Structure 1
Amino acid sequence: MDYIKAFEAIVAQQLARVEKMKQDTEFVNYQALDKIIIGVIGGDGIGPAITAQAHRVLENLLADEVKAGKVEFKVIDGCTIENRAAAGKAIPEDVLAEIKKCNVLLKGPTTTPRKGDKWANVESANVAMRKELDLFANVRPVKVPEQGIDWTFFRENTECLYALGSQGVNINDDLAFDFRVITNPGTERIARLAFEYARANNKKRVTIVTKANVVKTTDGKFLDVCKNVAKEYSEIEVDDWYIDIMTAKLVDEKRRGQFEVLILPNLYGDILTDEAAEFQGGVGTAGSANLGKHYSMFEAIHGSAPRMVEEGRDIYADPSSVIRAGAMLLSHIGYQAQADKLFGALEACTNEKKLVITGRTDGCTGAEYADYIISKI
């Protein structure tokens, strides 16, 4: 293998991506669309079971809009590990074509094969979708008022180690390389989105999380670009923390209430938001938004839990995560009243506990829990 040519190809690919980002400036205006098409992707494992319940809840909330032709739901099959492995692609071409016919997506978890699995070692469907649709911002809110927690994480979604995770090089049995990419325009747009959110929501502090003292080039660039954007938002306090100590400070009762909006590169954001979700009931209850300028995708943040399917327990899987993602989707496309109703219903069910979902037969099914949520809307 010619390693220099391989690296040159990666550099050329990323330089082309930088130029494309510089030219792409406008966000889609959902209010200007005649019809908003919501794609529903079940995914793998428990994904189809929980996503079906979220779909049902959204259909209930948007019944009038669907009837009026303002909203259309489009179920997209084929994003399963079986289909992806057979095609040898993270997202088969025909599935990607259907995805691109939609404006926003509601997605269940997908399985990413590991080396040695029975499946072809295809790239993560999530990573591929984020790259194909340029979903550069992963936004995850975590709110636990009784603990003084009101965090919103802005994780850069298309760069860092994940962007080139399938393009690493094995030099020989003893040496392997992966590549990490951070760009000025990629960092600037996630930083600007975070600061705009902070300004619009009266947040007083934005925290930048890196390991720039050690990873000097890429994390250094990320930190510098974020701080440069911060100069345009003089009313907002800005601080920066290293990722290792940040993981500790989230569990520090004296400190954690001070954090409001956090900006992170891809890998750190993935790790820290999973930790943060534990305060809100665990990753099984948390949803996230993946935002781009032309498409957006809303999903559960947990995995596909194939063992639950193998044990016949998928009907008992908790749909709260993807239903919460659905509420975020409603807010994003301009249906704030419906979003508020759904967030309120989720909170009411969590607090009341008339029905409890455990993932096993001693709890209710996902369908029963979705009915419970609908009853509170």
Structure 2
Amino acid sequence: MSNNYIDKASEHFKQLLEDQLARVERMEQGEEKTNFAEIDTINIGIIGGDGIGPFIAAEAQRVLETLLSDQLSKGKISFRIIADLTIENRAEVNQAIPDDVLEKIKQCHVTLKGPTTTPKEGDPWPNIESANVAMRKELDLFANVRPVRVPKDGIDWVFFRENTEGAYALGSNGVDVTDDLALDFTVTTTQGSKRLLRLAFEYADKNNIDKLTLVSKANVIKTTDGKFLKVGYDMAKEYPDITVDDWYIDIMTAKLIDPKRRTQFRVMALPNLYGDILTDEAAEFQGGVGTAGSANIGNKYAMFEAIHGSAPRMVDEGRAQYADPSSMVRAGAMMLRHIGFPEQGKHLEMALDITGQFEKKLTMTGRDDGANGREFCDYILDTMNDADLEKKWESYQ
């Protein structure tokens, strides 16, 4: 009887291996990078998602349309609404991303995405894969980049999280060998690690940052985490002006809250699961996950998103209009830099810092005793229109 279980699981594992080896071959072939300066019209997809997503996505779009009004009128920028990446549509076809929705996404050069619901066991939906994980794989968005900056605490971090491998890559492809034995898989490749780490090293080098930290659990997860660590140290030899150290994920979560140690971290590169955990912790220093944006970067496509969940309870309780749009707007600022509008991106980030961390004329509470999303975005836009924006921002540093 046990041999039957093993044979069935082995066939499953064989298919996974074949798929991953094919992916390695595709990475070896490479993909040409998008040059936004050569594109006549940059198509920006706005994906509302689930729950509070459509509310905060609409506000972020309004801010971006205001900042890019000249480019919109000249046809340099086009916004496309992709409204059907919802849990209802995904459940109906039992796909993480319905085929027709994926085609719409691929017609955009970049997307700004609201949160989507990922079902878990016991939910009233099919236990389908995360839309985020699926999108990262389908568009090969291999790098998740999350900045966290809190000047008063000396925090200026940028996290580079590998996005297409690790424990999440095959998270929906585990196997129940028997009723008592379940196995999941983690994946690390030389090619996948190299392209993520190259992006991190290049960012540090171009921004005159002389410190890069690798995060792993290579003392226990010796093969896959060990490979990631080895690739990192091998690549470090090409950047003699950058000091590289490494920390284990468990102690790293503690050191982020250590006032004496945390200011020593600048650029951090880490596998998928650890990056997800650590960046959520890091966002708390900046005001919580509701204030943090995230970039998912590939060679051809890029997706920018809020890092929090869809908060269906807020919708059920009639409070969706009070959801904080800061995470989506900050993701929009990252998108502006990516597509070739660095000044607009910088000024939007300054306005977000002033309104959310420093001045705080309005506060978001998620309820009617605080500002609603539209009011807060008006506050952001008013702050951006201040002729002394940069001086005001510098006064808080």
Q: TM-score range by the shorter chain?
A: over 0.9
Partners of 1:220 and 1:347 lie apart in 2 by 38
Q: SS of the counterpart of 2:146?
A: strand
1:9 pairs with one of 6, 11, 15: 15
Map 1:114-129 to 2 at 5 A. Answer: 114-129=120-135
Q: What is the CA-CA distance between 1:174 and the residue it aligns to?
A: 0.8
Alignment length (residue pairs):
377
- Structure-1 residue corresponding to 2:39: 33
- Structure-2 residue corresponding to 1:65: 71
Identity of aligned residues (%): 64
Does 2:53 match 1:47? Answer: yes
Q: What is the CA-CA distance between 1:248 and the residue it aligns to?
A: 0.6
| Matched-pair contact (CA < 8 Å) for 2:47–2:81 | yes
- Structure-1 residue corresponding to 2:393: none
Q: SS of the counterpart of 2:91?
A: helix
| Matched-pair contact (CA < 8 Å) for 2:118–2:131 | yes
| Deviations 1:32-59 (CA, angstroms, capped at 9, x unpaired) | 1111100000000100000100000000
- Structure-2 residue corresponding to 1:372: 379
Does 2:167 match 1:161? Answer: yes
* Runs of 5+ consecutive residues of structure 1 not aligned to the other structure: none
Map 1:199-278 to 2 at 5 A. Answer: 199-278=205-284
Q: SS of the counterpart of 1:141?
A: strand
1:193 pairs with one of 180, 194, 199: 199
- Structure-1 residue corresponding to 2:89: 83
Partners of 2:32 and 2:89 lie apart in 1 by 34
2:137 pairs with one of 131, 134, 140: 131
- Structure-1 residue corresponding to 2:394: none
- Structure-2 residue corresponding to 1:174: 180
Partners of 1:368 and 1:86 lie apart in 2 by 36
1:357 pairs with one of 351, 364, 367: 364
Aligned Cα root-mean-square deviation (Å): 0.8
Does 2:332 match 1:346? Answer: no
Q: What is the CA-CA distance between 1:348 and the residue it aligns to?
A: 2.0
Map 1:330-341 to 2 at 5 A. Answer: 330-341=336-347
TM-score by length of structure 2 reads 0.94
| Deviations 1:156-197 (CA, angstroms, capped at 9, x unpaired) | 000001000010000121110001000000000000000000
2:149 pairs with one of 143, 146, 156: 143
Partners of 1:25 and 1:205 lie apart in 2 by 29
Query: What is the one-letter code of the residue matched to 1:281?
Result: G
Query: What is the one-letter code of the residue matched to 1:272?
Result: L
Map 1:269-288 to 2 at 5 A. Answer: 269-288=275-294
Query: What is the one-letter code of the residue matched to 1:374?
Result: L
Partners of 1:146 and 1:345 lie apart in 2 by 16
Q: What is the CA-CA distance between 1:25 and the residue it aligns to?
A: 4.5
Partners of 2:32 and 2:253 lie apart in 1 by 35
Once the two structures are overlaid, the 10-residue window that deviates more, 151-160 or 28-37, is 28-37
- Structure-2 residue corresponding to 1:101: 107
Partners of 1:305 and 1:13 lie apart in 2 by 34
Partners of 1:195 and 1:295 lie apart in 2 by 21
Q: What is the CA-CA distance between 1:356 and the residue it aligns to?
A: 1.3
Query: What is the one-letter code of the residue matched to 1:219?
Result: D
| Deviations 1:226-258 (CA, angstroms, capped at 9, x unpaired) | 111111111100001100011111111111111
Q: What is the CA-CA distance between 1:320 and the residue it aligns to?
A: 0.4
Partners of 1:6 and 1:176 lie apart in 2 by 13
Partners of 1:181 and 1:336 lie apart in 2 by 35
